[in-house]
């Protein structure tokens, strides 16, 4: 198809949260190439909040797995999209692209799925990071690519809520605040809780830092066990809806935790991130600039990266070789505009003891 004939575009990435976030630069480039086109994005209903207020798309289409796909497919087919871009391109989504029947269908080549696309492609660099990998989907349609990082677009109301929420928990924005995420859905990505406890107690104990623990689904009991053993000035945020979680992250000076969707969510709202990598490949999964204060911490072991959902050796050496002191040293090397540690400690002591002058 000629570029001028493309008036309606469907981009799809059904899961996961991190993949939806890192697909946002694709939308930025599409909008630059097709300023007048109607661009729709299809994803699971859980992830539609990530795309709210995004100026590069006109519509977000929610897929509810429990509702079935028949009605959705019929609705999308009736719309006769000019172009569809499948950013997942597994066998199911490739077949979905074919059934929807856009005039031009783009997706990654492999197996039988390439027959579902009018324009399939082979990745030029299999070691490309997540952002570059998805931007390759624009190559078959001749869209000039400018690499940018993902951005979430929060409202002033959402930012005001996060400000108020943290202040009500005792956070003073004159001092740096670190958000800590010890959870995640995969056990072999989890640094031991004991190390998180040691890390945060030492960091806060040195003075100059405030800390907020963050939690995902069903992680309340685990967080409570941690909170029972950390400094009493440290707070724990409740489990929050996705956009409130993003707004809270935007107010932090630093995010630290296991590699997860929150790593990408924090980066997308402009917060510097330190992420721990065990089985996953930090070179491909972590596209964020170290010059801006972002760090991926990992260790070379013979079996890494395995990208497995469990440790094949049962040792978790890839994670356990990361020490508390190593992470503390990384935090210390990231510069922040802070008051002196002595001033911070005096201020905190005065708040806890109002009669102290």
Beta bridge partners of 160: none
Q: Is residue 169 part of a domain?
A: yes
The DSSP-derived string for 71-120 is HHHHHHHHT--SEEEESS--HHHHHHHHHHT-SEEEEE--GGGGGG-SEE
> For the segment 114-123, what is each residue's pLDDT rounded down to a tens digit?
789 999 998 8
Assess whether 130 and 169 both reside in one domain. no
User: Which of 22-31, 89-98, 211-220, 304-313 has the largest mean confidence?
Assistant: 22-31
pTM of the model: 0.91
Q: Could you tell me if residue 301 is inside a domain?
A: yes
The verdict on 163 and 110 lying in the same domain is: no
Dihedrals phi, psi of 127, to nearest 5 degrees: -105, 15
- Answer yes or no: is 341 within a domain: yes
- Looking at the structure, do residues 29 and 166 belong to the same domain, yes or no? no
For residue 130, the enclosing domain spans 3-141
Question: For helices 156-168 and 242-250, what crossing angle results, to 10°?
Answer: 70
In a domain, 150, yes or no: no
Q: Are 277 and 184 contacting, i.e. CB atoms less than 8 angstroms apart?
A: no
CA-to-CA dists, residue 209 to 37, 64, 89, 269, angstroms = 47, 42, 44, 21
Q: Please write the tens of the pLDDT for every residue from 233-271.
A: 899 999 999 999 999 999 999 999 999 999 999 999 999
Q: Give me the number of domains the chain comprises.
A: 2
pLDDT at residue 344, rounded to an integer: 40
Choose the final residue of a domain: 111, 141, 171.
141
pLDDT digits (tens, 9 = 90+) for 134-159: 999 999 999 999 999 999 999 999 99
Residue 151 covered by a domain? no
Give the pLDDT confidence score for residue 356 in this predicted structure: 32
Per-residue pLDDT tens over the stretch 273-300: 999 999 999 999 999 999 899 999 999 8
Does 163 share its domain with 125?
no
Q: Which of 108, 141, 174 is the last residue of a domain?
A: 141
End of a domain among 85, 109, 141?
141
Same domain, 58 and 87: yes
Q: What is the CATH number of the domain that holds 134?
A: 3.40.50.2000
Task: State how far Cα 286 lies from the chain centre.
Answer: 10
pLDDT of 306 strictly over 90: no
Q: Report residue 200 as tokens.
A: 């945060």
- What phi and psi values does residue 349 have, to the nearest 5 degrees? -65, -40
- Whether residue 197 is found in the same domain as residue 334: yes
pLDDT tens-digit readout, 155-195: 999 999 999 999 999 999 999 999 999 999 888 899 999 99
pLDDT tens profile 190-245: 999 999 999 999 999 988 899 999 999 889 999 999 999 999 889 999 999 999 99
Structure tokens at 125: 């660099």
Half-sphere exposure of 70 (CA within 13 A, CB side): 0
Report pLDDT for 354: 33
Q: Flag whether 245 is in a domain.
A: yes
User: Quick one: pLDDT at residue 345?
Assistant: 43
Specify the DSSP class assigned to residue 174: T
């Amino acid at each position: 198809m000629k570029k001028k004939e493309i008036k309606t575009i469907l981009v799809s990435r059904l899961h996961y949260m991190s993949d939806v976030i890192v697909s946002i630069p694709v939308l930025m480039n599409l909008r630059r190439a097709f300023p007048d086109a109607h661009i729709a994005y299809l994803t699971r209903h859980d992830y539609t909040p990530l795309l709210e207020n995004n100026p590069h798309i006109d519509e977000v289409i929610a897929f509810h797995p429990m509702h079935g796909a028949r009605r959705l497919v019929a609705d999308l087919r009736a719309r006769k999209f000019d172009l569809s871009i499948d950013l997942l391109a597994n066998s199911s989504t490739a077949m979905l692209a074919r059934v929807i029947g856009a005039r031009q269908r783009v997706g990654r080549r492999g197996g039988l799925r390439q027959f579902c696309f009018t324009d399939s492609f082979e990745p030029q660099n299999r070691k490309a990071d997540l952002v570059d990998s998805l931007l390759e989907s624009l190559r078959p349609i001749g869209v000039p690519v400018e690499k940018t990082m993902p951005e979430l677009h929060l409202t002033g109301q959402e930012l005001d809520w996060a400000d108020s929420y943290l202040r009500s928990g005792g956070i003073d924005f004159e001092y740096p605040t670190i958000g800590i995420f010890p959870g995640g859905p995969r056990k072999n990505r989890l640094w031991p809780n004991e190390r998180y406890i040691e890390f945060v107690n030492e960091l806060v104990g040195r003075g100059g830092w405030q800390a907020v623990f963050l939690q995902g689904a069903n992680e309340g009991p685990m967080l409570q066990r941690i909170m029972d053993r950390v400094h009493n000035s440290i707070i724990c945020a409740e489990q929050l809806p996705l956009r409130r979680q993003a707004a809270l992250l935007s107010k932090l000076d630093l995010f630290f935790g296991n590699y997860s969707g929150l790593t990408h969510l924090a980066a997308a709202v402009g917060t510097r991130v330190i992420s721990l990598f065990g089985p996953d490949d930090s070179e491909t999964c972590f596209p964020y600039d170290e010059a801006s204060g972002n760090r991926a911490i990992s260790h070379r072991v013979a079996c890494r990266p395995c990208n497995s959902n469990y440790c094949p050796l049962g040792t978790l050496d890839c994670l356990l070789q990361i020490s508390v002191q190593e992470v503390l040293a990384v935090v210390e090397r990231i510069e922040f505009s802070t008051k002196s540690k002595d001033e911070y400690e005096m201020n905190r002591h005065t708040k806890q003891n109002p009669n102290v002058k």
